[in-house]
């Protein structure tokens, strides 16, 4: 399949590389051209703009940081929407607002193009290992057509619904669940440290209780306080909790815990942790405990 890939951060680079290894013809674009050139040696073509990358493709994937970056890549000068041919499919794997997902679906439809939301769960190491979880939503026929793309980047694909924005709602609520777990670990570890109980002992108990790789991974990072370099920046976690609250407001569904976690993210950013891993949210609970 001819695939355009826009956005070559740690996640995007790994996903594009797995598409190449999966036998797809991949054209890449990134604002920093050198990141694209790193994949040229593995068979990728390097484009000068999102439109150039998308011009002859069947599917274009965007993996970008936030709504603003996606809007610029799609609607800006040399944007994806101006290069994508009629009938081609834009897959947004970015964690974006449900509002932007609806706008993308509408604007692509006006141009005779198709749109799917397919955000992913997993950190950069999971992207590299092709063990991401893909959550897709949109037209059923488009999803089936894109199965080879999803299978090349992840271990399992879930279908959230017929409206693309539904996949974004799943992704935002999932990130809220992870952020809530980080908050819970931070509070528990702060109490246990003051009780002179080793955090790793508690982590072993929790791993036996929940048997979750997410608990094991984040629990270890927090117990060892290895927050840099970031696998997922705290400022992006703050963005996601803010967006899930916007979605909750659209759906008239109170999320009081999300409001608490949002405030703690804001506190962490105010104290200079924005570029550290989002698991460093645990430092807020530690500071509140006088540690």
Q: What residue has token string 């999971």?
A: 126
pLDDT digits (tens, 9 = 90+) for 210-224: 999 999 999 999 999
Catalytic sites, residue numbers:
171
Alpha carbon of residue 271 to chain centroid: 24
Alpha helices of the chain — where are they, by DSSP H? 10-21, 33-40, 50-54, 67-75, 80-83, 98-110, 124-128, 140-145, 147-153, 165-194, 199-210, 213-224, 234-250, 256-270, 282-288
What fold does the segment set 2-162 form as a domain? Rossmann fold (3.40.50)
Quote the DSSP letter at residue 233: B
CB 261 within 8 A of CB 285: no
pLDDT in the model for residue 65: 95
pLDDT digits (tens, 9 = 90+) for 228-237: 999 999 999 9
pLDDT in the model for residue 244: 98
Q: Cα–Cα distance between 259 and 244 in angstroms, integer?
A: 10
Alpha carbon of residue 41 to chain centroid: 26
Q: Tell me if 2-162 shares its fold with 169-288.
A: no
Both tokens assigned to 288? 């509140």
Domains of the chain, residue spans:
2-162, 169-288
CB 221 within 8 A of CB 185: no
pLDDT in the model for residue 277: 97
- Which stretches of the chain drop beneath a pLDDT of 70? none
CATH class of 169-288: mainly alpha
Q: What residue has token string 């834009």?
A: 90
Instruction: Count other C-beta atoms under 10 Å from residue 48's C-beta.
Output: 11
- Which among 9, 1, 3, 7 has a CA at the least distance from the CA of 27? 3
């Amino acid at each position: 399949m001819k695939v355009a890939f826009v956005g070559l951060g740690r996640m995007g680079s790994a996903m594009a590389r797995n598409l190449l290894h999966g036998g797809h013809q991949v054209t890449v674009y990134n604002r920093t051209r050198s990141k694209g050139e790193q994949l040229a040696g593995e068979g990728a073509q390097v484009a000068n703009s999102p439109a150039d990358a998308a011009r002859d493709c069947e599917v274009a994937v965007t993996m970008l940081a936030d709504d603003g970056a996606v809007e610029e890549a799609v609607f800006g000068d040399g944007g994806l929407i101006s290069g994508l041919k009629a009938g081609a499919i834009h897959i947004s794997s970015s964690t974006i607002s449900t509002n932007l997902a609806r706008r993308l679906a509408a604007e692509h439809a006006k141009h005779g193009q198709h749109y799917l939301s397919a955000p992913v769960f997993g950190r950069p190491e999971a992207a590299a290992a092709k063990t991401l979880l893909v959550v897709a939503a949109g037209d059923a026929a488009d999803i089936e057509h894109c199965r080879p793309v999803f299978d090349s980047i992840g271990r399992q694909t879930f279908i959230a619904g017929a409206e693309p924005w539904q996949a974004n709602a799943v992704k935002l609520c999932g990130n809220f669940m992870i952020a809530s777990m980080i908050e819970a670990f931070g509070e528990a570890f702060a109490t246990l440290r003051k009780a002179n109980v080793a955090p790793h002992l508690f982590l072993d108990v929790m791993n036996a209780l929940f048997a979750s790789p997410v608990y094991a991974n984040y629990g270890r990072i927090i117990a060892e306080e290895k927050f840099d370099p970031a696998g997922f920046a705290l400022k992006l976690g703050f963005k996601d909790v803010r967006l899930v609250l916007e979605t909750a407001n659209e759906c008239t569904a109170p999320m009081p815990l999300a409001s608490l976690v949002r405030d703690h993210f804001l506190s962490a950013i105010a104290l200079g942790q924005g570029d550290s891993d989002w698991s460093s949210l645990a430092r807020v609970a530690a500071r509140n405990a006088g540690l």
